[in-house]
């Protein structure tokens, strides 16, 4: 029964994908490039990646409830869907960043309440040190990390395949590392994301804020779940940094750069790393770099987890060198007119 329900879930994801335009029109979820100057695509694209993700998550929830397998996914899926709905409302109503920042905390704090095992109150580092945060500090740290990842992944969602490629790497790593009771659920999520990617790459649909929010909380909570589980390879606090480095580091870089220039940190611009690479090398350069950046580092942390701290330093160095080079190789056109790849 478990496998049958998951199979039906995958079928639902495929069917919704083929009807993406119809679903987008019905829900009012169309990304019109005429409405925002920084958009690079030329026609309205349905922002229904969240709907496809929800279809897959509903099947996982039902299968877990009926069979009693992978029940730890149920509260995570519920809160990921909750935050995804907030994102859908943002896609439709264009909420201000102030309202978004307030509402994003609600599903995150709810998840910590109904799944207290996700509370990170001790940070075990790969070099042997342990940082005790205490209960209050642990709640604040866990919530801040999850909200921060939601914001970072949403800001990274500016090119086809970007956040989905990150999600694919993460879910695959989790499937390999997770206990046997959880690996099947992560493998299923990997297939769901792969199906969505097949529709996203040719711009048949975009993830939208709803899809980005839901994927971020789903993967962030899963990473913390790996931190507290009996995995096939040790998971340290800095191992999680290795996994999530690209969206987080680039988000911090962009926010700092904009603040130094006196601009709003959340002002839509084309200054993310993927924009620089797309403009200076090729329209798919951002996707290729982001995938291998996370994939290679993730494999390294899987192979030598005790050197996760060193891998993080290597990631920072690679990111810094790449940004430095791409910024100077980038064409001078302010709106990156040479970039033709559809951007969300």
Report whether pLDDT(185) > 70.
Answer: yes
Report whether pLDDT(127) > 90.
Answer: yes
- Token look-up 């800095």 returns 238
Report whether pLDDT(37) > 80.
Answer: no
Beta strands at 45-46 and 122-124: parallel, antiparallel or unpaired: unpaired
Helix, strand, coil percent values for the chain (each to nearest 5): 70, 5, 25
pLDDT for 39: 54
What average pLDDT does range 106-119 have in this prediction? 96
Report whether pLDDT(339) > 70.
Answer: no
- Token look-up 């995570």 returns 76
For residue 59, name the pLDDT band (cuts at 50, 70, 90).
very high
Residues in the chain: 344
273: phi > 0 → left, psi -120 to 50 → alpha, else beta; which?
A: alpha
Cβ neighbour number for residue 314 with a 10 Å cutoff = 16
Cβ neighbour number for residue 253 with a 10 Å cutoff = 16
For residue 69, name the pLDDT band (cuts at 50, 70, 90).
confident
Contacts of 96-103 with C-beta under 8 Å, sequence gap 24+, read 97/264, 97/266, 101/147, 101/151
Furthest-apart CA atoms within the chain: distance in Å:
58
pLDDT for 310: 97
pLDDT for 296: 96
For residue 344, name the pLDDT band (cuts at 50, 70, 90).
very low
pLDDT for 51: 96
For residue 336, name the pLDDT band (cuts at 50, 70, 90).
very low
Average pLDDT, the chain: 89
pLDDT tens figures, 4-26: 999 999 999 999 999 999 999 99
Report whether pLDDT(217) > 60.
Answer: yes
| Helix 162-177 and helix 180-200, axial crossing angle in degrees, nearest 10 | 160
| Helix/strand/coil for 273 | helix
Q: Write the CA distances from 149 to 49, 220, 240, 243, 249, integer angstroms.
A: 18, 7, 12, 12, 10
For residue 332, name the pLDDT band (cuts at 50, 70, 90).
low
For residue 230, name the pLDDT band (cuts at 50, 70, 90).
confident
265 is written with which tokens?
Answer: 């940190």
What average pLDDT does range 254-263 have in this prediction? 86
Report whether pLDDT(266) > 80.
Answer: no
pLDDT tens figures, 280-302: 888 888 899 999 999 999 999 99
pLDDT for 35: 57
* Mean pLDDT lowest among 45-54, 73-82, 145-154, 328-337: 328-337
282 is written with which tokens?
Answer: 């090729």
pLDDT for 340: 32
CA distance 167 to 246: 12
CB 312 within 8 A of CB 244: no
What average pLDDT does range 179-204 have in this prediction? 94
Report whether pLDDT(36) > 70.
Answer: no
Report whether pLDDT(335) > 70.
Answer: no
For residue 96, name the pLDDT band (cuts at 50, 70, 90).
confident
């Amino acid at each position: 029964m478990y496998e049958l329900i998951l199979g039906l879930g995958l079928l639902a994801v495929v069917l919704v994908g083929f009807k993406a335009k119809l679903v987008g029109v019905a829900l009012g979820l169309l990304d019109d490039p005429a409405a925002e100057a920084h958009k690079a695509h030329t026609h309205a694209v349905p922002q229904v990646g969240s709907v496809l993700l929800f279809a897959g998550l509903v099947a996982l929830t039902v299968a877990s409830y009926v069979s009693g397998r992978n029940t730890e996914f149920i509260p995570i899926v519920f809160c990921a869907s909750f935050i995804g709905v907030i994102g859908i409302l943002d896609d439709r109503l264009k909420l201000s960043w102030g309202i978004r920042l307030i509402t994003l905390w609600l599903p995150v704090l709810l998840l910590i309440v109904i799944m207290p095992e996700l509370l990170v109150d001790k940070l075990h580092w790969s070099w042997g040190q342990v940082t005790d945060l205490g209960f209050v500090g642990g709640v604040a740290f866990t919530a801040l990390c999850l909200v921060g990842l939601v914001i970072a992944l949403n800001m990274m969602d500016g090119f086809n395949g970007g956040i989905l490629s990150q999600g694919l790497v993460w879910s695959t790593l989790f499937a390999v590392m997770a206990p046997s009771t959880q690996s099947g659920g992560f493998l299923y999520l990997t297939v769901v994301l792969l199906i969505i990617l097949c529709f996203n790459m040719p711009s048949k649909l975009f993830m939208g804020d709803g899809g980005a929010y839901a994927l971020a909380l789903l993967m962030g909570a899963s990473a913390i779940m790996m931190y507290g589980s009996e995995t096939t390879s040790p998971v340290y606090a800095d191992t999680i940094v290795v996994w999530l480095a690209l969206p987080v580091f680039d988000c911090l870089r962009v926010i700092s750069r904009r603040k130094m220039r006196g601009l709003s940190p959340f002002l839509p611009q084309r200054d993310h790393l993927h924009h620089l690479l797309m403009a200076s090398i090729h329209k798919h350069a951002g996707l290729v770099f982001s995938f291998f950046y996370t994939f290679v580092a993730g494999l390294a942390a899987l192979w030598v987890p005790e050197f996760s701290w060193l891998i993080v330093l290597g990631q920072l160095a690679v990111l810094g060198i790449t940004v430095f080079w791409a910024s100077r190789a980038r064409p001078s056109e302010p709106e990156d007119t040479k970039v033709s790849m559809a951007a969300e």
